[in-house]
């Protein structure tokens, strides 16, 4: 009923007469066929929603054993995952991830720290480079240069992450070690730099969209008042697009948290709790990738890996919703002001 009203609104079907006209059987059949097709297409549209729900349900389902099964609850209770544990008698309590030793140690904290370190390094590099590059493309670059710049960065976005991981592992790691003489060749710094290669295009693209969405009239008004182009870019265009640029950074952050292959290949995969960026680290995503292959299906360790998956899903879900809200804010603010 709703749809029909809307289609009338679009002028796509003629207005229904109060008394149903007598339709020929051909027309009647045609009408039924149209309804079936519309119903089928509408049903297909549920797939995207279904996929998202099924992902959460089936990843959470396998993690649920941690809370429901006696054995798993003993081996991997929440306190063992998040509070310091006495690993060996007489030693101070510590956070240790060692799920396959004779006494499994399942602290999530080393994985959180590892993920945070690589993500932080990648953000510190990718945000300035991505945003500045976008500002250049949107404000200062001549049109010709801009038309080359955008596809080039899209090309960078198209590089499979396993290739970036390979590059970080073979080239970047050797370069860093030779230059700085690091103890461990593979570490948070190398992984984070590799990661930044994957998220610069994300930040660039979204930030550039936000900047180009700023109406020309803003720039013209600013220039007419005597501001220089860079003053216009810095004090008018950038603030107007600020929520969108924030969204770009948040999206990049989410991508960095979940990215797997680069970190798996370039981080060294040692779950060390420390503040140093030149220690090897183990991230959440790389832990799933590295350990899922050898785990016994249904064991507490198996459920733990799915639990990490739930955490990753929820983190990125929240970040996406925030980014989405901020992107919309830019469009709304600009279209509201432009009208």
Partner 1 sequence: MKHTMRRAMGGALTSLTGFAALLIVAILAIILFDAVRGGAGHVTWTFLSEPPSDGMMGGGIFPALYGTAALTLLMTVAVMPVGVLTAVYLHEYAPPGSLLARAVRIAVVNLAGVPSIVFGLFGLGFFIHFVGGSMDRLLGYQELNWGQPGILWASLTLAVLTLPVVIVSTEEALRAVPMEHRTASLALGATKSQTLGRVVLPGALPGILTGAVLAVSRGAGEVAPILFTGAAYFLPDLPDKLNSQFMHLGYHTYVLATQSPDVEATRPLLYATVLVLLALTFALNLVAVLIRARTRRRASAAH
Q: Are 162 and 258 spatial neighbours (Cβ–Cβ below 8 Å)? A: no
Q: Which of residues 239-268 bind partner 1 (CB under 8 A)?
A: 251, 254-255, 257-261, 264-265
Return the number of the residue (130 or 300) whose C-beta is nearest partner 1: 130
Verify binding: residue 93, partner 1, rule CB under 8 A: no
CA distance 275 to 145: 42
Verify binding: residue 132, partner 1, rule CB under 8 A: yes
CA distance 81 to 74: 11
Residues ≥6 apart with Cβ < 8 Å to 43: none
CB of 153 to partner 1, least distance (A): 6
Verify binding: residue 236, partner 1, rule CB under 8 A: no
Residue with the two structure tokens 């602290």: 107
Return the number of the residue (67 or 230) whose C-beta is nearest partner 1: 230
CB of 152 to partner 1, least distance (A): 5
Verify binding: residue 95, partner 1, rule CB under 8 A: no
Verify binding: residue 331, partner 1, rule CB under 8 A: no
Among 206, 210, 233, 240, binds partner 1 (CB under 8 A): 233
* CB count in 10 Å sphere of residue 114: 30
Residues ≥6 apart with Cβ < 8 Å to 280: 184, 186, 187, 188, 267, 268, 269, 270, 272
Verify binding: residue 154, partner 1, rule CB under 8 A: yes
CB of 309 to partner 1, least distance (A): 4
Among 86, 124, 170, 337, binds partner 1 (CB under 8 A): 170
Choices 65-73, 102-110, 169-177, 270-278 (CB under 8 A): range interacting with partner 1 = 169-177
C-alpha pair distances (Å), 34 with each of 4, 13, 16, 160, 237: 12, 12, 16, 43, 48
The token duo for 38 is: 């519309």
Verify binding: residue 21, partner 1, rule CB under 8 A: no
Helix (H) or strand (E) holding 105: strand 105-106
Full DSSP string of 231-292: HHIIIIIHHHTHHHHHHHHHHHHHHHHH--HHHHHHSB------S-TTS-B--HHHHHHHHG
**Which positions from 194 to 223 touch partner 1 by CB under 8 A, shown as an x/- string?**
---x--xx--x-------------------
Choices 17-25, 83-91, 135-143, 177-185 (CB under 8 A): range interacting with partner 1 = 135-143
Choices 72-80, 90-98, 165-173, 274-282 (CB under 8 A): range interacting with partner 1 = 165-173
Residue with the two structure tokens 């785990």: 295
Among 18, 92, 151, 336, binds partner 1 (CB under 8 A): 151
Among 19, 20, 26, 44, binds partner 1 (CB under 8 A): 44
Among 112, 166, 270, 331, binds partner 1 (CB under 8 A): 166
Verify binding: residue 235, partner 1, rule CB under 8 A: no
Verify binding: residue 129, partner 1, rule CB under 8 A: yes
CB of 93 to partner 1, least distance (A): 30
CA distance 74 to 300: 9
Is 77 exposed, middle or buried, given 0-12, 13-18 or 19+ CB atoms closer than 10 A? Answer: middle
Return the number of the residue (113 or 211) whose C-beta is nearest partner 1: 211
Q: Which of residues 303-322 bind partner 1 (CB under 8 A)?
A: 305-306, 309, 312-313, 316-317, 319-321
Verify binding: residue 41, partner 1, rule CB under 8 A: yes
SS3 label, residue 91: coil
């Amino acid at each position: 009923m709703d749809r029909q009203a809307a289609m009338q609104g679009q002028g796509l079907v003629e207005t229904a007469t109060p008394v149903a006209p007598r339709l020929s059987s051909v027309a009647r059949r045609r009408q039924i066929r149209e309804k079936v097709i519309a119903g089928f297409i509408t049903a297909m549209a549920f797939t995207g929603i279904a996929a998202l729900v099924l992902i959460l349900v089936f990843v959470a389902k396998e993690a649920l054993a941690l809370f429901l099964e006696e054995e798993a609850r003993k081996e991997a209770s929440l306190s063992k995952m998040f509070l310091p544990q006495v690993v060996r008698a007489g030693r101070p309590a510590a956070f240790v991830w060692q799920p396959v030793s004779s006494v499994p140690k399942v602290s999530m904290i080393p994985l959180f720290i590892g993920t945070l370190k690589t993500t932080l390094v990648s953000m510190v590099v990718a945000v300035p480079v991505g945003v500045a590059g976008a500002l250049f493309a949107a404000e200062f670059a001549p049109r010709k240069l801009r038309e080359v710049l955008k596809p080039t960065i899209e090309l960078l976005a198209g590089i499979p992450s396993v290739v970036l991981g390979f590059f970080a592992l073979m080239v970047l790691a050797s370069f860093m070690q030779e230059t700085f003489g690091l103890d461990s060749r593979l570490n948070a710094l190398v992984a984070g730099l590799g990661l930044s290669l994957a998220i610069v295009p994300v930040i660039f693209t979204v930030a550039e969209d936000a900047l180009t969405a700023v109406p020309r009239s803003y720039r013209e008004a600013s220039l007419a008042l005597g501001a220089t182009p860079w003053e216009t870019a810095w004090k008018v265009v950038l603030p107007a697009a600020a929520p969108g640029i924030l969204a770009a950074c948040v999206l990049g952050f989410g991508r960095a948290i979940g990215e797997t292959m680069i970190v798996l290949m370039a981080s060294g995969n040692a779950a060390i709790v420390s503040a140093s960026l030149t220690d090897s680290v183990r991230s959440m995503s790389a832990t799933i990738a590295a350990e899922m292959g050898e785990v016994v299906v249904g064991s507490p360790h198996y459920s733990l890996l799915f639990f990490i998956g739930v955490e990753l899903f929820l983190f990125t879900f929240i970040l996406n919703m925030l980014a989405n809200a901020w992107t919309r804010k830019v469009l709304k603010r600009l279209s509201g002001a432009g009208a």
